Structure 1
C-alpha cells in the first residue's frame, strides 16, 4: 500500500489520507466499546436496555488466567501474563490509580492515548514494585496534587486506554496470588470516591469491518473534540461523504496486509512489526497499520515482539517439518525481566492445542535444559522429539509462525545489534 498521505491530487487521495490519519481514533473508540463493561460491581448496569451502547469507564476489568487455544477473542495472544484493562475518561477531572506491592513480580500498566501513542507506563521498569498512587489528568486540569500521590501523568487528551500485564508463573497457587493483586488495583477520584462513570460508546465494538461513512465520521468527530492532534500534525478532515464511502472499505482492507512485510528486518527470518517508543511521530501510515492489526502494542522499551514466519532458507514454517532454534552459549535473549517463544497457527493466529498444553517456552519454563556447551536448543515440531528436548509443539501439516517476546529488552535488542538465530530444519 502506498502512503496515501503523500498524494492529495484527487478527492480519492485526500479521502484515503484522511482515513489513514484518523483510523487510530476510530479503532481506539471501537476497542473501548468492545472492552468496557456494561455492568459495574456495585452500581449495576450502565443502561437497562441490553442493546444499549452505554458502558462504564474509569474502572478496571481483569482476566484471571492465562489464555489458551479455546480463547479466540484476541489474535497472537500472550501466554505469559494476565491482563487488567481500564478506559479512562478524564473530562470530569483526574483519576487516581492505586496499585499494591507487587513483590519481585513483573507487571506494567501501559497508557495509550486516543491516537495509539504508548505515552506513559507505571510498573516494574519505570516506577518499581512498591505500593503507589498514580494521578492521571487531562490537558485542561491544573489542580493541586495530593501529598500521597507517587507520580503524576499528564495525558494529551481526555481518553486513555490502560492495558495492564502481570506475570503469572506455573507454580501452584500463583494464579490465585495474582488474582488477589488484581483485586487491589482501583481507579478513584481525588476525594477517594469510585471514579466510574457512564459513557455512550455509539457503536458496536465487535465488528472489525469497515463502518458506514456516517458512523465513521460521528466517531472520529467526537474523538477529535476530546483528543486533538498533537505535535504539529496537519489533519486532512473532513472529506466528502460519497468519496469516504468508496474509500473506507478499500483502505481498511489494504491496511490488513501482513504487517511483517512492512516491519524492520532483524535478519535470519525475523522481523519486528512494531517499533514505537512513546509516540509515532509523523509515521501516520505505520500508526494506522498497527492500529488495524496490533492495536494496544507496548513501546519497545517495555517489550519487543520479533516474529519469524520463515526458516533459515526463507521457506514458510510448516508443521510437516521439524525445526531447531539454537541460541549459542551466552547468546540468549538479553532482557531485564523475561523472554518467551510462542507458537501460533498461521490460519487463525491462535495457540496450537497439544498434549503438553504448552503454548510458549522460555527462560521460566520448568525443566528447560541447556546443552553441555551452554547453548540452548528449542525444537519446534508436531511430534514429540523425545526426552531431554526443549519442545515447543507445532501444528501438524499446516503453516505456523512464532513470536519471541522480550520483556524489558536490553540495549543489544533496542539498538538492533542482537544476532537472532535462524530456525533451521532439524
Structure 2
C-alpha cells in the first residue's frame, strides 16, 4: 500500500469513528459532577467521574458565555441526560406540558437521532417512558411508552420552549423539577449512578491519537456498529489497534487533519441564496459517514429533520463566505416566512469556535417570537446582519467583525421544507 493510500484509509477511519469520540467528549463535558441529593461523583477536582441516568436542566437561555456545546440554540431551555443501560432499563417520568413545545431527542453514541418523546410524537399529557438497551428481556410495565436503545449508552437532549421573561422561566423550571428518572424494577428509587467518562470534556482541540483510540475503543465495546458498517469498522480497527508504525503515524496525522478540515470547511449553498441543509437525517445517517462526522464536529446533538431542520448560511448569494467586515440583508417577503408548526429562529455564530456572539444589544437570534421587530407595510420582514448598528429603522442581528455563519432553525417544519420545495430568501451583501 502506498503512503497516499494509507493516508486515505486513515482519514476514512477518523471520519467513521469521530462521532464516538465527540459524543464521549460531550458526556464528559455535560454529565453532572454533582447530584443534588447524592453529592459529588468524584473525590477530586480533576476526577472524570460523572452522574448518569440523571437529568440536568439549564435554568436560562444559553448565551455567549456558555462554551460546552457548539452551535447551541437561543430559544429553549435544555434538559440533558446521559443514559447507562448496562444495569437495566429506566423509567422517565414527564409531567403534563400543557400546550408548550417540548421534545426529548434520543441519540445513540454514533449521533443517530433514533427516537423522540414530545409534542410531535407522544403528545403533551403526562407520560412514562420505558427505556431499555439491546440486551434487556422481560415484560414492559403497563401504560408506558417503549424506547429501545441500540447500545448500552445514549444521550437525551430535551428542549422546552420558553419566553425570555421571569414568569415563563419560573413556569418552565417547575416543569423541569417534575421530570424524574427511576429504576424500572418497581422500587421507585432513583436510577442515577456514577460513571467514569475517562477524559476531560472541556478540551475541544483535536485529541492526541492515544487518547482518541482509548476513548473510541471503550465506547465501541458498549455500542456496536450496525452490521451494514462491517467493512468500515474493520478498516477503522486496523488504525485503532495499529498493526505497524506506519499505521500509527498515518492515523495521528489524519486525526489532526480531519478535525481541522471538518471545523474550517465552508459548505457551499445547495438550496439557493447562500443556504444549505447539512442535516437531512430522520433517524439514522446510514453510511453517510462524512456528513455524520461534520455534524458531530460542528452541530452535535442535531435532531432529525421532522422534529427540527437546520438550514445553514455559510456563504452569501454569490458564494462568498460570510464575514462581519461586510453587511448583509435577509428579506422575507409577504407570506414568505418559514412554514412551521412550532416556531423558527435565525441564530448567529462565530466561524472560529461555533459559539454564540457577544454584542451590545444582547441579541443572539431573531425569529417569529422576537419582540419589537419592525415589519414593513406589506408584511415583509427584513433583517440586517452586520457588526455595526444599522440604526433604529432596521431589525439588527449583530455579527462579529470576523467570519461567521447562521443557523435558521425550523421546529416541526412543514412539507414545503421537508420536501425541499421552500424558496429561501437570498443572503444578500449590501455594503
TM-score of the alignment, normalized to the shorter chain, above 0.5? yes
Aligned mate of 1:281, from 260, 281, 286: 286
CA contact (8 A) 2:68 2:202 kept: no
Match of 1:399 in 2: 403
- In the aligned structure 1, how far is the partner of 2:206 from the partner of 2:321? 30
* Deviation, structure 1 residue 12: 4.3
Match of 1:204 in 2: 200
* Deviation, structure 1 residue 319: 3.5
Aligned mate of 1:128, from 107, 117, 123: 123
- In the aligned structure 2, how far is the partner of 1:318 from the partner of 1:167? 30
In structure 2, relative to structure 1, the CA distance for the partners of 1:115 and 1:366 (3 Å cut) is same
Aligned mate of 1:410, from 408, 414, 417: 414
* Deviation, structure 1 residue 263: 6.7
Asked if 1:163 corresponds to 2:167, the answer is no
In structure 2, relative to structure 1, the CA distance for the partners of 1:71 and 1:118 (3 Å cut) is same
- In proportion to residue count, which structure has more helix? 2
Match of 1:66 in 2: 61
- In the aligned structure 1, how far is the partner of 2:175 from the partner of 2:257? 40
Asked if 1:302 corresponds to 2:296, the answer is no
CA contact (8 A) 1:255 1:289 kept: no
Aligned mate of 1:175, from 154, 164, 169: 169
Equivalenced residue count is 418
Spell out, residue by residue over 1:214-256, the C-alpha distance to the aligned partner (whole angstroms, 9 max, x if none).
Answer: 4333322322221111142112224316323432342343243
CA contact (8 A) 2:278 2:291 kept: no
Match of 1:3 in 2: none
In structure 2, relative to structure 1, the CA distance for the partners of 1:31 and 1:335 (3 Å cut) is same
- In the aligned structure 1, how far is the partner of 2:288 from the partner of 2:68? 28
Task: Classify the secondary structure of the residue corresponding to 1:266.
Answer: coil
In structure 2, relative to structure 1, the CA distance for the partners of 1:424 and 1:90 (3 Å cut) is same
In structure 2, relative to structure 1, the CA distance for the partners of 1:122 and 1:298 (3 Å cut) is same
- In the aligned structure 1, how far is the partner of 2:346 from the partner of 2:134? 40
Q: Answer with 292-301 or 112-121: which moved more.
A: 292-301
CA contact (8 A) 2:10 2:254 kept: no
Q: Answer with 23-32 or 110-119: which moved more.
A: 23-32
CA contact (8 A) 1:24 1:291 kept: yes
Task: Classify the secondary structure of the residue corresponding to 2:103.
Answer: strand
- In the aligned structure 2, how far is the partner of 1:286 from the partner of 1:358? 30
Match of 2:383 in 1: 378
Q: Answer with 373-382 or 137-146: which moved more.
A: 373-382
In structure 2, relative to structure 1, the CA distance for the partners of 1:13 and 1:346 (3 Å cut) is closer
Match of 1:368 in 2: 373
- In the aligned structure 2, how far is the partner of 1:14 from the partner of 1:258? 17
Alignment TM-score, normalising by the size of structure 2: 0.90
* Deviation, structure 1 residue 335: 0.7
CA contact (8 A) 1:210 1:249 kept: no
Match of 1:54 in 2: 49
Match of 2:33 in 1: 38
Spell out, residue by residue over 1:334-362, the C-alpha distance to the aligned partner (whole angstroms, 9 max, x if none).
Answer: 11100011123334433333333221111
- In the aligned structure 1, how far is the partner of 2:359 from the partner of 2:298? 27
* Deviation, structure 1 residue 39: 1.8
CA contact (8 A) 2:298 2:354 kept: no
Asked if 1:80 corresponds to 2:75, the answer is yes
CA contact (8 A) 2:74 2:365 kept: yes
Alignment TM-score, normalising by the size of structure 1: 0.91
Q: Answer with 11-20 or 40-49: which moved more.
A: 11-20
- In the aligned structure 1, how far is the partner of 2:353 from the partner of 2:207? 23
CA contact (8 A) 1:306 1:403 kept: yes
Match of 1:143 in 2: 138
- In the aligned structure 2, how far is the partner of 1:347 from the partner of 1:210? 14
- In the aligned structure 1, how far is the partner of 2:291 from the partner of 2:416? 24
In structure 2, relative to structure 1, the CA distance for the partners of 1:266 and 1:141 (3 Å cut) is same
Match of 1:229 in 2: 225
* Deviation, structure 1 residue 10: 4.9
CA contact (8 A) 1:86 1:161 kept: yes
Task: Classify the secondary structure of the residue corresponding to 1:121.
Answer: strand
| Unaligned ranges ≥5, structure 1 | 1-6
- In the aligned structure 2, how far is the partner of 1:355 from the partner of 1:217? 43
Match of 1:220 in 2: 216
CA contact (8 A) 1:256 1:293 kept: no
* Deviation, structure 1 residue 11: 4.6
* Deviation, structure 1 residue 138: 0.5
